């Protein structure tokens, strides 16, 4: 297992903000040499601590995002996951522990779509209960 130090955490945080940041700019931001920044990044990749780089696309200002916690009946989790993966509005689906069995990240273009998606998800056989929170601001 890889143990992060402060420089590793700062490097990862900077890349989360801008995964396309040039290594020279990254080094300047972290106040280290270009060689040090490159070596740290190479090590994070080689050890599997960093699995890759991605982009975040800007959705329209009128899109709505939410997190839905879902309680599943008995042993129907696999069937429910398969069914939920068919919803294009679900951007990500996670298993979890505690009171809830699944967490769905939802994105829709209107409140009418949001209402429809919640209703359709709640009607899936095997879903006992759910709790949904709209995401208001990303910080």
Domain extent listing, the chain:
6-46, 64-135
How far apart, in whole angstroms, are the C-alpha atoms of residue 86 and residue 125? 14
Q: Which CATH number is 6-46 given?
A: 1.10.10.10
pTM: 0.60
Q: Architecture of domain 64-135 in CATH? A: 2-Layer Sandwich (3.30)
What is the tens place of the pLDDT at every residue in 32-72?
Answer: 999 999 999 999 888 888 888 776 555 555 689 999 999 99
What is the tens place of the pLDDT at every residue in 16-30?
Answer: 778 888 999 999 999
Average pLDDT over residues 121-136: 95
What is the tens place of the pLDDT at every residue in 4-15?
Answer: 788 888 888 888
Other Cβ atoms within 10 Å of 67 Cβ, number: 15
How far apart, in whole angstroms, are the C-alpha atoms of residue 121 and residue 110? 16
- CA dihedral for 75, 77, 79, 83, sign (positive or negative): positive
């Amino acid at each position: 297992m890889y143990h992060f130090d402060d420089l590793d955490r700062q490097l990862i945080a900077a890349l989360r903000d801008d995964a396309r940041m040039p290594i020279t700019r990254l080094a300047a931001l972290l106040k280290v040499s270009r060689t040090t920044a490159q070596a740290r990044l190479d090590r994070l990749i080689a050890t599997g601590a960093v699995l890759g780089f991605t982009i975040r696309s800007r959705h329209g200002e009128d899109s709505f995002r939410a997190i839905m916690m879902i309680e599943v009946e008995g042993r129907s989790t696999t069937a429910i996951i398969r069914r939920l993966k068919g919803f294009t509005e679900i951007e990500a689906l996670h298993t979890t522990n505690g009171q809830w069995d699944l967490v769905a990240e939802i994105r829709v273009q209107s409140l009418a779509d949001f209402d429809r998606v919640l209703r359709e998800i709640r009607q899936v056989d095997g879903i006992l209960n759910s709790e949904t929170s709209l995401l208001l601001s990303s910080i």
